[in-house]
Amino acid sequence: MEMMNWEQRNLLNELIHGLKAAKQLQASPSPSPSTSSLTMEMKETLLHNIVSSLEKAILMLNGSTTQHIPTTELALDLLANPGKVPESPASITESLRSEELFDVGSKDCNLSSKKRKMLPKWTEQVRISPERGLEGPHDGVFSWRKYGQKDILGAKYPRSYYRCTFRNTQYCWATKQVQRSDGDPTIFEVTYRGTHTCSQGIPPPKIQETKPNHTVAVNYQNNVDNLRTNLTVRTNGLEASTFSFPVTSPFYTYESINGGTLCHVGSSAPSDFTGLISTNTSTGSSPIFDVDFHFDPTAEINTGFPTFLHNSI
């Protein structure tokens, strides 16, 4: 292990992570959904883990080349056709050759049509209240960029569309939609599509530190299986400047380390998050807030969450 460099270790970790999830899935005999030890949801979650790990691993190996492998497509095909063996190796190779999922050069990226529908999708509800702050699952690791907002027929509030910040640089296709609830305006429904394949939470290799003050070193511990350890992460530093809390976050405790801040996240509550509330004056309607939540889909799966070093701005 000591002989391995940092990238190799990460690669191995991802592969082990994926293998572990795959074995869990394999170990669960499921003659019928009712008798299965794992719920359908749990299985989907495991599958997402497998896909995500494999994609990360492949990106690590493959990221700089033009030949990318759309593992998501394969895995989701398997999910859609659980009984079927995925054709011949030759046809797989054929599909692997495609740039469909990764070629940002092509205008429509082919992800829009049926592929989009194949992406895993799940919804979380997050509540915001002045007294209690933000409640519900969220993600403090991943960063999102807003790319659209639409008024939805029959809905009081507009729907906001976000994609992963690293879509273009790391071909990460994760997206989310945030829809404020009509009935209870303190509730926001966050719908995610696709899992992150970017290396948020994993530092990109060999990129020079240009803004040390804005970097965040993350000591990322997966309390479930301890497979990921000592990963150093840089973030875009925007959360701290762009995102702010309307109330002090009750979920984070800070201690200074080395000029930085150690931020321990939610060991007691898996429901911590970072978010933004800003007054939205762009629409003619009454001023509302738009909340941008950062949520880690894996936070539900993993019982604990990252400990990271956070430099104060």
Partner DNA sequence: ACAATTTGACCCAA
Partner DNA sequence: TTGGGTCAAATTGT
**Site of interaction with DNA (CB under 7 A):** 107-109, 112-113, 116, 144-154, 159, 161, 163, 165, 175, 177, 193, 236, 238, 241-242, 278, 280, 282-283, 290, 292
CB of 164 to DNA, least distance (A): 11
User: Whose Cβ is closer to DNA: residue 156's or residue 159's?
Assistant: 159
Extract the tokens encoding 17: 């992570």
**Residue with smaller CB distance to DNA, 68 or 167:** 167
Cβ at position 157, least distance to DNA in Å: 12
Residue 280's Cβ-count burial label (10 Å; 0-12, 13-18, 19+) is middle
Instruction: Calculate helix-pair angle for 89-96, 71-80, nearest 10 degrees.
Output: 130
User: Shortest gap between Cβ of 282 and DNA (angstroms)?
Assistant: 2
Question: For residues 112 and 258, which CB has a smaller minimum distance to DNA in the complex?
Answer: 112
Q: How far apart are CA 25 and CA 75, in angstroms?
A: 13
Helix (H) or strand (E) holding 293: strand 288-294
Query: What is residue 246's three-state secondary structure?
Result: coil
Residue with tokens 């911590």: 272
Which two tokens mark 77?
Answer: 């095909």
**Which of residues 11 and 118 has its CB atom nearest to DNA in the complex?**
118
Question: Exposed, middle or buried, 37 (CB in 10 Å: 0-12/13-18/19+)?
Answer: exposed
Minimum CB separation from DNA for residue 287, in Å? Answer: 12
Distance separating alpha carbons of residues 190 and 45, to the nearest angstrom: 17
- We find the least distance from the C-beta atom of residue 300 to DNA, in angstroms, to be 22
> According to DSSP H, which parts of the chain are helical?
6-26, 40-62, 71-80, 89-96, 116-118, 167-170, 238-242
- Give 232 or 236: the residue with its C-beta nearer to DNA: 236
Q: Which is nearer to DNA, 93 or 242 (CB)?
A: 242
The distance of closest approach from Cβ of residue 23 to DNA in the complex, given in angstroms and rounded to an integer, is: 33
